Structure 1
Amino acid sequence: MRLTALAAAAAVMLAAFPSLALAHPKLLSAPPAANSAVAKPTSITLTFSEDLVAPLSGIDLVMTGMPGMADHKPMPIKGIAARAKGKTMTIALPRPLPTGTYELTWHAVAADQHRIEGSYGFTVR
């Protein structure tokens, strides 16, 4: 009887608060945005749906193409400082990004401790 009451209480809690059981951070906005063309950015800001665990969240940024260089190999951008606070991850770039195409890969961890990843491309003109 007691076990049945506990199981029923747990079922009610999960039904009442499904976001607690299934919550994962989702990327809400990211200037520069996916597939956008921007002037030489000096920072990138990612906003998520949940508060992030700062030491477990971050990005990788790779230059995937450069004008006039057909065989440009992907080049990781070094010296990036990513800081997560609340729902926002701010990435300070060591210098404005040069003209080219980029692939940004992010990973975010929220209170549920699940690592969520994503990526998108953008162009610097």
Structure 2
Amino acid sequence: MTRKFLIAAAALALALPGVASAHTKLLSSSPAANATVAKPTRLTLTFSETFLAPMSGVELTMTGMPGMASHEPMPIKGFKTAVEGKTMTLTLPRALPAGTYELKWHVVGADQHKMEGGYSFTVK
């Protein structure tokens, strides 16, 4: 290999580490993790990078209901998901009833890496 090639390769490696190692992360959400909120009709997730909307999504599960100690986890269905830029918005057909919820998300970044995470919140 020539010296010019090695210098160019080293310069490229120094210029790209942020791109090569960047993975999409959840920056903020509404409701926030562990928050207690009044009956929401919309949930938003904002990520650090744009992502491939058709390959990304969420699961929302009611994990507890006031007064029902043995409440089985109940998946919430029927919401619409929209993506604009780095933000995913879930629009619910009606306000979430009082209880505890778990939201699990997964996104596929432009680098084709699948990232996932989740958090819980409470509706009063």
The 3 A distance-change label for structure 1 pair 63 and 22 is same
Q: Which moved more, 1:79-88 or 1:54-63?
A: 79-88
Task: For 1:31 and 1:9, locate their aligned partners in 2 and report how far apart those are by CA, in whole Å.
Answer: 45
Would the aligned equivalents of 1:14 and 1:21 in 2 still touch at CA under 8 Å? no
**Amino acid in structure 1 at the alignment position of 2:123:** V
How many residue pairs get aligned? The number is 124
In the TM superposition, residue 7 of structure 1 has moved relative to its aligned partner by 5.0
The 3 A distance-change label for structure 1 pair 56 and 6 is farther
In the TM superposition, residue 52 of structure 1 has moved relative to its aligned partner by 1.4
Task: For 1:6 and 1:76, locate their aligned partners in 2 and report how far apart those are by CA, in whole Å.
Answer: 56
Which residue in the other structure is 2:16 paired with?
17
Task: For 2:10 and 2:4, locate their aligned partners in 1 and report how far apart those are by CA, in whole Å.
Answer: 10
Task: For 1:42 and 1:53, locate their aligned partners in 2 and report how far apart those are by CA, in whole Å.
Answer: 24
In the TM superposition, residue 109 of structure 1 has moved relative to its aligned partner by 1.4
Which residue in the other structure is 1:43 paired with?
42
Over aligned residue pairs, what C-alpha RMSD do you find? 1.4
Task: For 2:6 and 2:90, locate their aligned partners in 1 and report how far apart those are by CA, in whole Å.
Answer: 45
Q: Give SS of 1:113's match.
A: coil
Which residue in the other structure is 1:105 paired with?
104
Q: Give SS of 1:30's match.
A: strand
**Amino acid in structure 2 at the alignment position of 1:112:** D
Which residue in the other structure is 2:63 paired with?
64
Task: For 1:32 and 1:43, locate their aligned partners in 2 and report how far apart those are by CA, in whole Å.
Answer: 9
In the TM superposition, residue 60 of structure 1 has moved relative to its aligned partner by 0.3
Which residue in the other structure is 1:94 paired with?
93
Normalising by structure 2, we get a TM-score of 0.93
Cα deviation code 1:40-82 (max 9, x no counterpart): 0001010011111110111000000000100000000011211
Deviation >6 Å, runs of 4+:
none
In structure 2, list runs of 5 or more residues that go unmatched: none
Task: For 1:31 and 1:39, locate their aligned partners in 2 and report how far apart those are by CA, in whole Å.
Answer: 12
In the TM superposition, residue 106 of structure 1 has moved relative to its aligned partner by 0.4
Task: For 1:113 and 1:7, locate their aligned partners in 2 and report how far apart those are by CA, in whole Å.
Answer: 28
